Amino acid sequence: MNIIKLDATDSTNVYLRRLSAAKELEDYTVVMSKTQSSGKGQMGTSWQSESGKNLTCSVFKKVTCVGNDEQFYLSVATSLAIFKALKHFSIPQLKIKWPNDILSANRKICGILIENVIKNGKMSAAILGIGLNVNQAEFGNLHSASSLKLITGVHYDLDEILHQIILQLRNYESLIMDRAFTTLKEEYETHLFRVHKPSTFKTTKGELLMGFIKGVSDHGKLQVMLEDEVLKEFDLKELKLLY
């Protein structure tokens, strides 16, 4: 495993993509940065992080056995790997909030952004961007955010956490290689935030919906049983789960 440590960059995902375009990278090449000036989240959002306090990194993962229509399972495997790594450090009340935020005690502690590397129309690699709140203690107006230190009172070593995440990524890679997608999906749904519980959702049109999360489809859409007993699927651009 090759680890590149930076004091600052615009985005570890962008840095790693530029690097992969310039030369052949070793599998599990990791870029860590104390500061990101343009850290990216889902749907074009920014990721705010106090310098040196958190794990902000990207992992270059070669992928040849996943079709373009099966990319959701990379997100599932990455979410489960981080979930399992945090279990190793005894972080309590962990859940995965669709599609791939990690929560502890209903507060967001980790965001994941996966960007695919396509060659000749097929996926050849993926860049796994991870933003994990570790030792940061202040989040301003972000009331839904927290960190490992705030939750447990423990100060963590970022390198130790990274190595545990990589270990778990390698474990889940074997399931991807074996195409054990049903196993991955079942484990993911077991840890899904608010699964089988009455929940409130907001559509992109501003409409509020009530329903029960039943699971996810093979393409990563959220399956919600609405009040009229109709099971409907939504993608990330269509629906937001409210706290």
**Does the pLDDT at position 41 exceed 60?**
no
- Residue 96 CA to residue 74 CA, distance in Å, equals 14
Say yes or no: domain 198-241 is CATH 2.30.30.100: yes
41/88: higher pLDDT: 88
Q: What is the mean pLDDT of residues 18-31?
A: 96
Q: Pseudo-torsion of CA 65, 67, 68, 72, nearest 10°?
A: -80
Judged by DSSP in three states, 101 sits in: strand
Domain boundaries, the chain: 3-190, 198-241
Q: For 43, which DSSP code?
A: G
Per-residue pLDDT tens digits for 82-115: 999 999 999 999 999 999 999 999 999 999 999 9
**Does the pLDDT at position 47 exceed 60?**
no
* H/E element, 75: helix 72-88
Pick among 3.65.10.10, 3.50.50.60, 3.30.930.10, 1.10.10.410: CATH of 3-190: 3.30.930.10
Q: How confident is the model at residue 63 (pLDDT cuts 50, 70, 90)?
A: very high
Instruction: Identify the pLDDT of residue 160.
Output: 98
**What is the pTM for the complete model shown?**
0.93
**Does the pLDDT at position 242 exceed 90?**
no
- Residue 51 CA to residue 6 CA, distance in Å, equals 11
Query: Crossing angle of helices 158-177/72-88, nearest 10°?
Result: 140
Query: Crossing angle of helices 72-88/181-190, nearest 10°?
Result: 50
